[in-house]
Amino acid sequence: MNELKHYLAPTSLDQAVECLKDGDVTILAGGTDLTPQSQAGRVKIKHTLMNIRHIPQLSGITLEGKEIRIGTLATITEIMAHPLVRQHLPVLVDACNHFASDQIRNAATLGGNICNASPAGDTLIPLLVLDASVELASMPEAKLYRHSMPLSTFFVGPGKTRRSLCELVTCVRIPLPAEGHVARFHKLGTRPALDISTISIGIAGTLKEGILSNVRVAFGAVAPTPVRASQTEKALEGQRLDEATIEKAAAVARDEVKPIDDVRASAWYRKEMIHNITKRILSHVAQA
């Protein structure tokens, strides 16, 4: 009845990627998605279940040069509490604060949130506007191989990413924001957290003398993946954040997204909310 044949809990990265070589492996980290999904039969566990929680290289939050490295096993609670994140990436703290419940934040990992690739994934929107990249490890030959990929190109569809079956996401790297960097996140739902977003919005950029540049805008729950909004970014890039710009950008944002109807909201309402909340965030940024 069950094709699961092996349970492994490797203690080093080399062992883990070695094991991934045959590609028929289900990876277990925090377990907050995999456990209920597999219990309900929505996800079938493959030939091997590999628990990566005992691999020290996958943990920790550190400053490496001009980047903050967050290990794939860092839990949402650890990220929220970490001084580096609190100092440099308050927008990520904000998003984590709207993530599920305390119990889930204590278990869920950043790597898990990324690899589950939910269109409404709470950490994904701030990471996108922070220009985060993911590091992937594999063992094509006998040697450990690592490469990076911008998060903005990582997602393919709901639950689908560019990670190959032989790869493991080891960490996320986020460049230290430059001076004048502003970033905001808003999750629309009826509860403070424990809620799947109706929509979520992240906006970041450098604000100097009222002009916004290096603009990054990302939307959640309006497409099969979390998405960067290039038209909206264009409408804002290099512009003074006055009422006309804000209204124009909000209108562009509404036209740019192509959401669907589901049990949480209609496409029409989602477009309206993209407009209204984009406008609200930009107004706050302008007034700040």
Partner 1 sequence: MSLKHDIEFTLNGIKRRVTVDVTMNALAMLRDVIGLTGTKYGCGEGECGACTIQVDGVSLNSCLMFAVDCDGRNVTTIEGLANDSEADALRDAFVEHGAVQCGFCTPGMIMQADHLVRSGCCGDTDSIKRGIEGNLCRCTGYKKIVDAIASVSGAQN
Partner 2 sequence: MSVAEKKARVIQPDSLIGKRIPKMDAPEKASGKTRYIHDINLSGQLHGKILRSERIHALIKSIDTSAAKALPGVHVVITAADVPDQRPIGVARDHFPLKVGRVRSERDEIAAVAAETEEIAEAALKLIKVVYEDLPVISNPEDAIKPGAALIHPEPHGADGSHEHLKQGTTIAHKGKPDNVAMTFDYAHGDVVRGEAESDVVLEDTFKLHYVTHCCMGVSGMIAEFDASGNLLMYSNTQVPFLHKREFAEYLNMDPARIRIIQPPIGGGFGSKLDIYPFEVICLYLARAAKRPVKMLFTREEEFLASPTRQPVLLTLRSGCKKDGTLTFRQVHTLHDNGAYTSWGATTPFVMMQTFSSLYRVPHCDYHTAAVYTNNPYAGSFRGYGNLQATFAIEQHMDMLAEKIGMDPLAFRLKNAQDAGETTGQGMSFKSCGFKDCLTTAATRSDYSRKVQENVANRDKPGNIKRGVGMASMLHVGGGAKIYPSDGCGTILKMDDFANVTLITGASEIGQGSETVLSQLVCEELGLPMSAITVVNNDTAITPWDVGVHASRTTFIAGNSAIGAAKKAKTKILAVAAKKYDCAESDLDLRGGFVIKAGSGEVVVELSKLLRNLHFQDKAELVMTTFYYEPPSVHQDKGFKGDVSAAYAWGTQVVEVEVDTDTGTVRMTKVTGAHDVGRVLNRLGIEGQIEGGVVMGQGYALTEDLMIENGVMKNPNFRDYKLVTAPEIPEMDISFIESMDGEGPQGAKGVGEAPSICIAAATANAIANATGVRMFELPFTPERVYRTLHGQTPKLYWKPWKAE
Rounded to 5 degrees, what angle do the CA atoms 77, 79, 84 make? Answer: 140
DSSP annotation of 178 reads P
Over the window 228 to 267, marking each residue x when it contacts partner 2 by CB under 8 A and - when it does not, the resulting string is -----------------------------------xxxx-
Q: Which of 15, 38, 231, 283 lies at the binding interface for partner 1 (CB under 8 A)?
A: 38
At 146, which helix (H) or strand (E)? Answer: strand 145-150
What is the nearest approach in angstroms of partner 1 to the Cβ of residue 273? 22
105 and 75 Cβ atoms separated by less than 8 Å: yes
* Residue 288 touches which of partner 2, partner 1, none (Cβ within 5-8 Å per kind): none
* Residue 156 touches which of partner 1, partner 2, none (Cβ within 5-8 Å per kind): none
- Choice between 163 and 279, CB closer to partner 2: 279
* Residue 266 touches which of partner 2, partner 1, none (Cβ within 5-8 Å per kind): partner 2
Residue where the block lists tokens 């990220």: 79
165 belongs to the binding site for partner 2 (CB under 8 A): no
The tokens describing 37, both together, are 């999904």
Give the C-alpha separation, 287 to 52, whole Å.
45
What is the nearest approach in angstroms of partner 1 to the Cβ of residue 2? 5
60 and 74 Cβ atoms separated by less than 8 Å: yes
DSSP annotation of 75 reads B
* Residue 198 touches which of partner 1, partner 2, none (Cβ within 5-8 Å per kind): partner 2
Which residues does residue 158 pair with via DSSP β-bridges, in sequence order?
none
136 and 147 Cβ atoms separated by less than 8 Å: yes
Give the C-alpha separation, 169 to 177, whole Å.
23
Give the C-alpha separation, 90 to 110, whole Å.
16
* Residue 104 touches which of partner 2, partner 1, none (Cβ within 5-8 Å per kind): partner 1
Size of the site for partner 1 (CB under 8 A): 33
277 belongs to the binding site for partner 2 (CB under 8 A): yes
Where do contacts with partner 1 occur on this chain (CB under 8 A)? 1-2, 4-7, 9, 28, 30-32, 34-36, 38-40, 45, 49, 51, 53, 77, 100-104, 106-107, 191-194
